Chains A and B, each alone.
Chain A
Amino acid sequence: MVFKHGKIAGDPEPFKKLLKKFEEENPGIKVKDEILPASTDEQHQFYVINLEGKSPDFDVLSMDVIWVPEFARAGWLKDLSLILSKNEQKEFFLGPMLAVTFKDKIYAIPWYIDAGVLYYRKDLLQKYGFSPPKTWQELVDIAQYITSRESGLYGFIWQGKQYEGLVCNVLEYFWSNGGDVLRDEISVIKSPENVDALHFMRDLIVKYKITPPLVTTAIEEPTRHIFGNGKALFMRNWPYAWNIFEKESSAIKGKVGVFPLPSFPNKESASTLGGWQLGINRYSKHPDAAEKLIKFFTSPEAQKTLALTIGYKPTRKSLYKDKDLLMKQPFIIGLYDVFMKARPRPVSPYYIMITQVIQPEFSAAISGIKTPEEALNSAHKQIEHILRVER
């Protein structure tokens, strides 16, 4: 049996040990693990080409949150509703469960979870007597106050290059203002809430001047470097950066705090959901063994091991009360509230096509090439065209 997945972050040894344990517990099943390129676009391309060709060469596959509806719609995934009972589903976070559900059936089991969070400089906020911001306006005020008193410090950095990460960033502003992209498979992208939210993002750069224009070309790593060198007060990023900031050699070790992202007044904060799910190839010749492997890797024990060793965040809520994890990985436990509120990107088989047309529009709006109204109107038209594709 073959298990396909992306590169394991950090040390692959703990993962190999888990595989060995699975083989010992299930005599007669041999698992070959095969690693795909790190770029998620390439992984997507690999799966699409092979599944379209009905390839039985792999049995278990790991999928990004945004792929499941697309693959399920194409009929490439085995229905897993039976191996995950209604009661067991409640043990998982809601966001990833929504992402793996397509037309009331479950096509994958959440393996580990990711979501956008706000990093802040604990030391600087303390120095000037601030607590972490709850609304976007508070964040602007704090950043303006502190950056005018500290030299060589950016206020707030995030990811604004034209790529998938930009969509993740923009959605967090939409949602935290009560907006969305799709509702009941109809585009609602040009709502006033979204226009305001996008205006605010542009204003961060040109009006409030707390965000440097360099974010319009930045992806995760450059922003992580800037923050890691102590040159920014706030940063939006994924939880992976935490372990790097806490290394001995880090310039800001012990000075970093993490908080849920702010929201607009009287609205709910929201993070974009990331993470990976395990599913079974419908053309697999060993579906029973594949089922066992998925159950094993999404079990509380395996998730706990991976959280302790390589910092993968568990998708099961109960693990966030676990004593060992609390002792050794208090940071992960602290993310519970963020994961509870994390939302999947539009759950639609058309998502891959939709993101292709909204990326350039968002990029145009934040770099000032189009006004937010123009960008969202144009995005709306293109999304409607995509949704009509099957008619």
Chain B
Amino acid sequence: MRNGEGGNRFVIPALILLSFVTIYPIIYVFYLSIHRKLLIFDISRFVGFENYLFLLKDDRFWNALKNTAYFTGVSVSLELLFGLYIALLLNMSFRLKGLIRAIVLIPWAIPTVVSARMWEWIYNTDFGILNYIVGTKINWLGSPFWAMNAAVFMDVWKTTPFVAILLMAGLQVIPRELYQAARVDGAGNWATFRRITLPLLKPVILVVLIFRTLDAFRVFDAIYVLTGGGPANTTETLSIYAYKVLFQTLQFGYGSTLSVIVFLCIGCISIFYIRILSRGMNRRSRSK
């Protein structure tokens, strides 16, 4: 205990539990992904990397990957932008602050499936309120261009509050003295924001980005309920494709291959962010 190594003993039970619920399934999914396994036909045989080779030629996979990347990129950037703006507003002092903060959180509090159903009606060509307000007859979920952006918009509406609340927490720990000092030095609003708020908020922004990017990359329920992947797979994401292959057609081999790819993508994204985050931390601790 004195030399700090004894701590390992206390971590072992947790590690064993974790390996049961995470490491074992990961290995098993990889094992399935190098087999051709079709429940209905009672086929189960080793095929090596055949599934992965097929995946490289599978247009539907590349289409799903493209859709997922677009959805993640656009929705996460918009959420960060709007979230930061709302956080800055909510961080000012005004009357009914508590109430407004609570109201802002409502979209986040609604279960995803419920809000997706709600948006499906909002986007309805004939009865939808969106076309009524805008005065158009656009087929939001039926046109390839609008369908994906409609899904992005729904996600932005739903998760911006979450981003805003996290960023607001970050804003509140920035010492007031810094702002006072800046004002004494004659710094304007923009300069204070760029030189003080942004740098000190950076770690929180990174955490928000990790959460949101990983969530958006795995998006399933929102889009599945909203469009089912249509029209013509223009909104089909990797998770939806994997679900359809795994659970609707029961091709456990190829479905697992898709899952492994999603897992690898998520892994790369996490490593990328964690490196940025730890580099930032190291620099700060060194400068102290």
Contacts and interface: CB of A to CB of B under 8 A. Distances in A.
A389 B232 CA distance: 24
A390 B142 contact: no
Nearest to A44: B248
A48 B40 contact: yes
Interface stretch (B72-80, B86-94, B223-231): B223-231
For the complex of A and B, 3 pairs with smallest distance between CB atoms: A162-B230, A364-B232, A214-B125
A74 B39 CA distance: 8
30 contacts: A41-B248, A73-B41, A74-B39, A75-B42, A162-B227, A162-B232, A163-B228, A212-B125, A213-B139, A214-B126, A214-B139, A214-B142, A216-B231, A217-B227, A217-B230, A217-B231, A352-B40, A352-B249, A360-B229, A360-B230, A360-B232, A361-B232, A363-B232, A364-B232, A364-B233, A367-B142, A367-B231, A369-B232, A369-B234, A389-B38
B139 A369 contact: no
A226 interface: yes
Contacts of A390: 41, 43
B244 interface: yes
Given A163-B228, A217-B142, A389 B126 contact: no
Contacts of A367: 142-144, 231-232
A297 B229 CA distance: 38
Contacts of B39: 48, 52, 74
B251 interface: yes
B47 to A, nearest CB: 12
B130 interface: no
A73 B247 contact: no
Interface in A366-391: 367, 369-370, 378, 389-390
Nearest to B123: A217
Nearest to A390: B41
B126 A226 contact: yes
A94 B228 CA distance: 34
Interface of A: 41, 44-45, 48, 52, 70, 73-75, 161-163, 212-214, 216-217, 222, 225-226, 349, 352-353, 356, 359-361, 363-364, 367, 369-370, 378, 389-390
B40 A162 contact: no
A367 B248 CA distance: 24
Query: How big is the B interface, by class?
Result: 20 to 34
B126 A370 contact: no
A353 B43 CA distance: 15
Interface string B245-258: 10111110000000
Interface in B114-140: 124-127, 139
Contacts of A45: 247-248
- Tell me the dominant secondary structure on chain B's binding face: loop
B148 interface: no
Contacts of B40: 48, 70, 73-74, 349, 352
B38 A213 contact: no
B141 interface: yes
Contacts of B126: 214, 222, 226
Nearest to A212: B125
Contacts of A352: 40, 248-250
A39 to B, nearest CB: 12
Contacts of B36: 389
Contacts, number: 95
A217 B234 CA distance: 13
Residue from B36, B43, B124, B248 having most chain A Cβ neighbours under 10 A: B248
B53 to A, nearest CB: 13
A161 B141 CA distance: 10
Contacts of A75: 42
Contacts of A356: 244-245, 248-249
A174 to B, nearest CB: 18
B41 A389 contact: yes
A36 to B, nearest CB: 16
A75 B43 CA distance: 13
Contacts of B248: 41, 44-45, 352, 356
A353 B251 contact: yes
Interface string B196-210: 000000000000000
B232 A74 contact: no
Given A216-B142, A217-B125, A356-B248, A364 B231 contact: yes
Given A214-B126, A360-B229, A370-B232, 4 more contacts: A45-B247, A48-B250, A369-B144, A369-B232
B69 to A, nearest CB: 19
A180 B6 CA distance: 71
Contacts of B249: 352-353, 356
B43 A217 contact: no
A17 to B, nearest CB: 35
Contact of B42 (A74, A212, A361, A378): A74
A371 B247 CA distance: 30
B118 to A, nearest CB: 16
Residue from A44, A214, A217, A226 having most chain B Cβ neighbours under 10 A: A217
Residue from B36, B41, B231 having most chain A Cβ neighbours under 10 A: B231
Contacts of A216: 139, 142, 231
Nearest to B59: A378
Residue from B40, B247, B250 having most chain A Cβ neighbours under 10 A: B40
A75 B60 CA distance: 31
Contacts of A359: 230
Contacts of B60: 360
A363 B141 CA distance: 12
A162 B244 contact: no
B275 to A, nearest CB: 38
